[in-house]
Structure 1
Amino acid sequence: MTDDNVHVLLAAKRREHVLDALARDGAVRISQLVDDLGVTPVTLRRDLAQMEREGVLVRVHGGAVPSKAAAAAASVPKEPEVRTIAVLVPSLNYYWPGVVRGMEAEARARGLKVLLRGASYELQDERPVLERLVASEDIAGLIVAPNTDTPHAKDVARWLDESGIPTVLVERDAVSAGGAPVESVTTDHALGAMLAARHLASLGHRRVGLVLSRNSPTSRKIASGWHQAVTDLKLGPARHVETVLPDRSSPDFTAEVNTALDAMMDAGITGLLVHSDPEAMAVVDLALNRGISVPEDLSIIAYDDEVAQLFTPALTAVSPPRASVGRTAVDLLLHRMGNPDRPVHRVQLSPQLNVRDSTAAPRA
């Protein structure tokens, strides 16, 4: 290395030291710099003069202070790094928008950007969607509601496990490919069904029924809680009727609802829990068409409470805490991102029952 290169290198180090001292102390003194750097006062005065010409500092007697421009620049806070989390849910209409709004509100409050994608309940393998999400941006964490009822469910769990990206499942209970629990936030849908059964029992209903919209993780949990409640309350099984309706788009939907109503009336059912709101509204409409009065002849509780209060009669409904589920998912993910070694958290939130006009005591 030539002498000129050595001088340049030493000058750069002196400059860095001076800038650090200015930022830390707000001023530098030549006497202190002599002690710190082991160079002559003449060398330091030459360094400070050059930095003054560059507008970095202003020389004062015995040392220097930051220039106004440098002080102003130092006072401007740096833009915080914005981390991106990716969210994949099975639908962007009905139920999930409330969850997503909770996520977005919490993410904004915590300085996160949300990259949202919707899939569908019919999607058999979410891995291609997840791969595109991860490839599109630098993703710091994932919130996913995977389809747990497909042949590829274990493959998706393995992909999430091997991705190395902090992940929280929402409204899904699952384990990793290795069998370990996965961070998750869910609604206690079984409790929601129990609340509905207890409400009907408290009104005096002894013969009750359950109508489910499809065979899904949510409907299975509702059925589990309902069965436990009707047993504990001695409302079944002989006094209990259960049916699963096809998709509302099916040409058989109306016929299936009427068949279910026939079975309910034949069994003397006076109270129903119906998942979800649109199915409950269809049951009410078709019951009224047949001269079955709601709630006088048949009390009906909807499960989801998305639009139940807007119907006539306003439907008594079990209301999952959708926004809180979304906010909690983001909070869990942030803690997982900050501390990957902390114990796995599996949070379960309770729904509530909102009593309205569609339930009453059965006719005497």
Structure 2
Amino acid sequence: MTENTADQGKRDFLPAERQDMILSLLTRQSVVTVAELAELLNTTDITVRRDLTTLADAGLLKRIRGGAMSLSGTTTRKDGSPAALVGVPSPLAAPGLDDLNDMPLPAGLDDRNNQPVIGVMMPEPSFFWPNVIESIRNAANELGARIVSRESSYDKIDETEILDWLAQERSLCGMIVSPSGRPGVCERTWEWIEGAPVPVVVAERDQPVLGTCYVDSVRTNHHYGVRKAAVHFLERGHTRIGAAFSDTPTSQVIENGWKHILNDSDRIVCPFIEDGIQPYDTSGVDGIVDKIIASGVTAMLVHSDYLAIAIAQVLERRGKRVPDDVSLISIDGFATPSSRPLTVLRSNAKDLGEVCVRTLMQRIADPDSATKHIFVDPTLVDRGSVVDLNAR
């Protein structure tokens, strides 16, 4: 864990929470031991081994003596940040981004001897968020600022304590935060943001529908990303397409984008949409594969990577090949192992972080300007997991 990790306290985690945390850790380092997992998860070696067996049976990691190994060959840089996955290209930079070197600090924030601070609160480490934080750090450094970050959690913790801690920074000039989406937690967080002592930019989260907090936001344009996937399928002759979504803070946005396509066009037939299925839910994944085979779909849109990997492995055990029999597009694009290359939609962490910093600086410079909500399109990376039916 990084030195900025928020103290998660000593408590018992649910099995799903433990397994999520194990997968998250394996996206940042290639090997974990039973002992370090037991300490991290505040549990026993026996429980850790049981979790590792569950994840290994789902094809999401490789068991080794005394621990587990990532399937993706993830390594860690000397500074502790995650290196690129083996066989996975770096996110493509979107053209047209302003050069942050040309953006001076707003008046009053250019004293390098009193270095301004940007407070950052984002969820516990996973394959996506460390890259966003690294991008924010680099963009802030170009402006002569530094960041102070604390990690929140997908669990029901009080994020206002983290925000209060960040607000104590003497040279704090603004904040970039990603609030929890859990009921009972997000309401207090948004209330804090509304009364924040400095400008706040919200990353990758939609604001409450009937809330009274209006702040700038920067988000992945998942609706357009799903359209890219649909077009990719259609161009290759796929019109009968199923969909499956894990339970994540962005899954509902992605699913809504897919439903909009189905409602606005008659070119795609979608016999089923499965949601809330976790990749280590063996019976749930088996149920999805049952529907794939019974419905005769030729392609699947899946979120997240791990669920796509689990579905692909069960399909192959049932005698169905990817992509020859069933084509797949995964939405995440960071954890897909090179041993199972899947065409992916990937949020652009680099551009997202840069735009967050740029938006914050513009807000500081012009506090009375209209609220801005900026979308960054994801990149579709074609790794050949969608077969061309037109060529058959």
Calculate the TM-score normalised by the size of structure 2: 0.67
Q: How does 1:164-203 map to 2 (within 5 A)?
A: 164-174=197-207, 179-203=212-236
Q: What residue is the counterpart of 1:293 in the other structure?
A: 321
Q: How does 1:23-34 map to 2 (within 5 A)?
A: none
- 1:206 pairs, out of 227, 239, 242, with 239
- 1:227 pairs, out of 244, 249, 259, with 259
Please, which moves more after superposition, 275-284 or 146-155?
A: 146-155
- For residues 311 and 212 of structure 1, the distance between their equivalents in structure 2, rounded to whole angstroms, comes to 22
Offset of residue 224 of structure 1 = 1.5
Q: What residue is the counterpart of 2:51 in the other structure?
A: none
Q: Indicate the SS of the match to 1:264.
A: helix
* Structure 2 counterpart of 1:240, one-letter code: P
Aligned length: 282
Offset of residue 361 of structure 1 = 2.6
Offset of residue 288 of structure 1 = 1.2
Pair 1:232–1:177, CA change in 2 (3 A): closer
Q: What residue is the counterpart of 2:272 in the other structure?
A: 241
- For residues 112 and 167 of structure 2, the distance between their equivalents in structure 1, rounded to whole angstroms, comes to 24
Pair 1:305–1:215, CA change in 2 (3 A): closer
Q: How does 1:1-364 map to 2 (within 5 A)?
A: 79-174=112-207, 179-216=212-249, 218-236=250-268, 239-248=270-279, 253-308=281-336, 310-362=337-389
- For residues 228 and 159 of structure 2, the distance between their equivalents in structure 1, rounded to whole angstroms, comes to 34
Pair 1:183–1:284, CA change in 2 (3 A): same
Pair 1:311–1:289, CA change in 2 (3 A): farther
- For residues 110 and 215 of structure 1, the distance between their equivalents in structure 2, rounded to whole angstroms, comes to 33
Offset of residue 337 of structure 1 = 1.8
CA contact (8 A) 2:219 2:374 kept: yes
CA contact (8 A) 1:273 1:300 kept: yes
Larger proportion of helix: 1
Pair 1:116–1:180, CA change in 2 (3 A): closer
Offset of residue 153 of structure 1 = 2.1
* Structure 2 counterpart of 1:206, one-letter code: T
Offset of residue 222 of structure 1 = 1.0
* Structure 2 counterpart of 1:227, one-letter code: K
The Cα offsets for residues 311-347 of structure 1, whole Å up to 9 and x where unpaired, read as 3341111121111111110111112122222221211
Offset of residue 190 of structure 1 = 1.1
CA contact (8 A) 2:116 2:146 kept: yes
CA contact (8 A) 1:300 1:359 kept: yes
- For residues 117 and 164 of structure 1, the distance between their equivalents in structure 2, rounded to whole angstroms, comes to 18
CA contact (8 A) 2:245 2:277 kept: no
The Cα offsets for residues 10-64 of structure 1, whole Å up to 9 and x where unpaired, read as xxxxxxxxxxxxxxxxxxxxxxxxxxxxxxxxxxxxxxxxxxxxxxxxxxxxxxx
Q: Indicate the SS of the match to 1:301.
A: strand
CA contact (8 A) 1:176 1:182 kept: no
CA contact (8 A) 1:245 1:256 kept: no
Pair 1:235–1:259, CA change in 2 (3 A): farther
- For residues 328 and 171 of structure 2, the distance between their equivalents in structure 1, rounded to whole angstroms, comes to 48
* Structure 2 counterpart of 1:211, one-letter code: A
Please, which moves more after superposition, 160-169 or 226-235?
A: 226-235
Offset of residue 275 of structure 1 = 0.8
Offset of residue 246 of structure 1 = 3.5
* Structure 1 counterpart of 2:310, one-letter code: A
Q: Indicate the SS of the match to 1:146.
A: coil
* Structure 2 counterpart of 1:287, one-letter code: L
CA contact (8 A) 1:85 1:114 kept: yes
- For residues 247 and 266 of structure 2, the distance between their equivalents in structure 1, rounded to whole angstroms, comes to 26
- For residues 240 and 375 of structure 2, the distance between their equivalents in structure 1, rounded to whole angstroms, comes to 30
Q: Indicate the SS of the match to 2:131.
A: helix
* Structure 1 counterpart of 2:289, one-letter code: L
CA RMSD of aligned residues (A): 2.3
Pair 1:189–1:152, CA change in 2 (3 A): same
Please, which moves more after superposition, 106-115 or 207-216?
A: 207-216
Structure 1 vs Structure 2: percent identity of aligned residues? 28
Calculate the TM-score normalised by the size of structure 1: 0.72
Pair 1:313–1:175, CA change in 2 (3 A): closer
- For residues 227 and 209 of structure 2, the distance between their equivalents in structure 1, rounded to whole angstroms, comes to 30
- For residues 235 and 96 of structure 1, the distance between their equivalents in structure 2, rounded to whole angstroms, comes to 35
